[in-house]
Homo-oligomer: A and B are copies of this chain.
Amino acid sequence: MAQQGITPRTEDYSQWYLDVIAAGELVDKSPVRGCMVIKPHGYGIWEGIQKDLDARFKATGHVNAYFPLFIPESFLSKEADHVEGFAKECAVVTHHRLRSKEGGGVEPDPAAKLEEPLVVRPTSETIIWHMYGKWINSHRDLPLLINQWANVVRWEMRTRPFLRTAEFLWQEGHTAHATEDEATEEALRMLGVYRDFAWETLAVPVIPGMKSSTERFAGAEETYTIEAMMQNGWALQAGTSHFLGQNFARAFDVTFQTSEGTLEHVWATSWGVSTRLVGAVIMAHSDDTGLVLPPKIAPIQVVLVPIWRKEEDQERVMAFAKKVQDLIGCHVRVHLDAREKMKPGAKYFEWERKGVPLRFEVGPRDVDNNSVFCAKRTGDKKFGIAVDDDFLDRVLSELDGIQSGLLETAIARRDANTHEVDTYQAMKEKLPDGGGFFLVPWHDDAEKEREIKDDCKATIRCFPLDSQDQIEGKVCFYSGRPATHMAIFARAY
* Listed stretches A38-46, A421-429, A450-458; interface member: A38-46
* Listed stretches A61-69, A209-217, A369-377, A479-487; interface member: A61-69
Q: How far is the CB of A141 from chain B (nearest CB, A)?
A: 10
* Listed stretches A16-24, A81-89, A313-321, A378-386; interface member: A81-89
Residues of A195-220 contacting chain B, CB below 8 A: none
* Listed stretches A99-107, A175-183, A283-291, A460-468; interface member: A99-107
Identical subunits present: 2
Within 8 Å CB of A39, what residues of B?
65
| With A37-B68, A87-B98, A93-B91: A117-B108 Cβ-Cβ less than 8 Å | yes
Output the nearest chain B residue to A108 by Cβ-Cβ distance. B92
* Contact (Cβ within 8 A) B66 A43: yes
| Bound-state Cα–Cα, A44 to B167, Å | 25
Within 8 Å CB of A32, what residues of B?
68, 70-72, 118, 127
* Contact (Cβ within 8 A) A70 B91: yes
For chain A, which range describes its interface: under 10, 10 to 19, 20 to 34, or 35 or more residues?
A: 35 or more
* Contact (Cβ within 8 A) A88 B97: yes
Output the nearest chain B residue to A98 by Cβ-Cβ distance. B87
* Contact (Cβ within 8 A) A106 B89: no
Out of B40, B68, B120, B151, name the residue touching A30 (CB < 8 Å): B68
Tell me if A134 is interfacial: C-beta within 8 Å of chain B. yes
Which of A40, A151, A169 has its CB near the most chain B CB atoms (within 10 A)?
A: A40
Q: How far is the CB of A129 from chain B (nearest CB, A)?
A: 11
Out of B66, B76, B97, B135, name the residue touching A98 (CB < 8 Å): B76
| With A94-B94, A108-B92: A70-B167 Cβ-Cβ less than 8 Å | yes
Output the nearest chain B residue to A141 by Cβ-Cβ distance. B1
Tell me if A130 is interfacial: C-beta within 8 Å of chain B. yes
| With A37-B65, A67-B30, A92-B98: A73-B146 Cβ-Cβ less than 8 Å | no
Within 8 Å CB of A167, what residues of B?
68-70
Binary B-proximity of A110-124 (CB < 8 A = 1, otherwise 0): 000000011110000
Binary B-proximity of A144-168 (CB < 8 A = 1, otherwise 0): 0010001101010000000000010
* Contact (Cβ within 8 A) B64 A44: yes
* Contact (Cβ within 8 A) B108 A70: no
* Contact (Cβ within 8 A) B89 A96: yes
Tell me if A322 is interfacial: C-beta within 8 Å of chain B. no
* Contact (Cβ within 8 A) A127 B96: no
* Contact (Cβ within 8 A) B90 A96: yes
| With A69-B151, A146-B40: A98-B88 Cβ-Cβ less than 8 Å | yes
| Bound-state Cα–Cα, A106 to B341, Å | 60
Q: How far is the CB of A35 from chain B (nearest CB, A)?
A: 4
Within 8 Å CB of A66, what residues of B?
37-38, 43, 46, 169
| With A64-B47, A97-B89, A119-B98: A28-B131 Cβ-Cβ less than 8 Å | yes
| Bound-state Cα–Cα, A471 to B44, Å | 47
Tell me if A261 is interfacial: C-beta within 8 Å of chain B. no
Within 8 Å CB of A107, what residues of B?
73, 117
* Contact (Cβ within 8 A) A93 B96: no
Tell me if A31 is interfacial: C-beta within 8 Å of chain B. yes
| With A30-B127, A118-B32: A69-B37 Cβ-Cβ less than 8 Å | no
| Bound-state Cα–Cα, A410 to B303, Å | 45
Q: Identify the A interface with B (CB < 8 A).
A: 1, 28, 30-32, 35-40, 42-44, 46-47, 63-77, 83, 87-100, 104-108, 117-120, 127, 130-131, 134-135, 137, 140, 146, 150-151, 153, 155, 167, 169, 341
